Amino acid sequence: MDTSSETIIIKLSRKKMILALLGSFLFVILGIWMVIDHKEINSIFLKFPLAVLIAGILSILFFGFLAILIIKKLSSQTDGLIISSEGITDNSSAISAGFIPWTEITAITETSYAGQASVIIVIKNPEEFIAAQKSSFKRKAMTANHKSFGGAVSISANSLQTTHKNLKKILVEKLTEYNRMNTI
């Protein structure tokens, strides 16, 4: 049964993603500098050259990987989030959930970790949903989300043309509307 004929499309924010990409590049450059000059760098936090070298390598790997994911998203022509009468289609991040029907969603909550707010989509059979993901990276990330935050699917407004508050409001309203229309 339709909750509404209105489909809400939230586009990816190129501005937010380009800023994140620039930040990633800066940390990659910082990591390269740390690897090259690890013997000369003397810091309160990194007093040992080996620690500086390891921190530099980790910075290059992590932020380099993040930059690749951002570039991939920037080149994508998909909408970030599509909210329809059938459910939610999440294309907002590297671990996007894809299509989640309203029939599988039991609750929408939120969490904040390290100052990063996310909307958590609680689904009926999270283990089945996680197992159905094609990428082992997605399966591991969704398993960690489920264990840490109570939901396998986490959606951040960081790469979307909306705020966290508005994103949660829309999703809660649509789930409530769907449940009201489909309750006997």
Q: What is the DSSP string of the chain?
A: --S-S--EEE-B-HHHHHHHHHHHHHHHHHHHHHHHTTTT---SS--SHHHHHHHHHHHHHHHHHHHHHHHHHHH--S-SEEE-SSEEEE-SSTT--EEEEGGGEEEEEEEEETTEEEEEEEES-HHHHHHT-S-HHHHHHHHHHHHHHS-SEEE-GGGBSS-HHHHHHHHHHHHHHHHHHT--
Question: At residue 87, does pLDDT exceed 70?
Answer: yes
pLDDT at 103: 93
Question: At residue 19, does pLDDT exceed 70?
Answer: yes
CA angle 150, 130, 110 (to 5 degrees): 30
Distance of CA 108 to the CA centre of its chain: 15
C-alpha–C-alpha distance, residues 129 and 141, integer Å = 13
pLDDT at 184: 57
Mean pLDDT of 56-85: 90
Backbone dihedral angles phi then psi of residue 173, each to the nearest 5 degrees: -60, -45
C-alpha–C-alpha distance, residues 153 and 120, integer Å = 6
C-alpha–C-alpha distance, residues 84 and 87, integer Å = 5
Mean pLDDT of 42-66: 84
pLDDT at 45: 62
Question: At residue 48, does pLDDT exceed 50?
Answer: yes
pLDDT at 2: 39
For the chain, what is the mean pLDDT?
88
pLDDT-derived band at 122 (thresholds 50, 70, 90) equals very high
The predicted-structure confidence for 133-158, as pLDDT tens digits, reads as follows 888 888 998 999 899 888 889 998 88
CA distances from 43 to 2, 52, 54, 130, 159 (A): 60, 9, 14, 43, 34
Q: Which of 30-44, 59-73, 97-111 has the lowest mean pLDDT?
A: 30-44
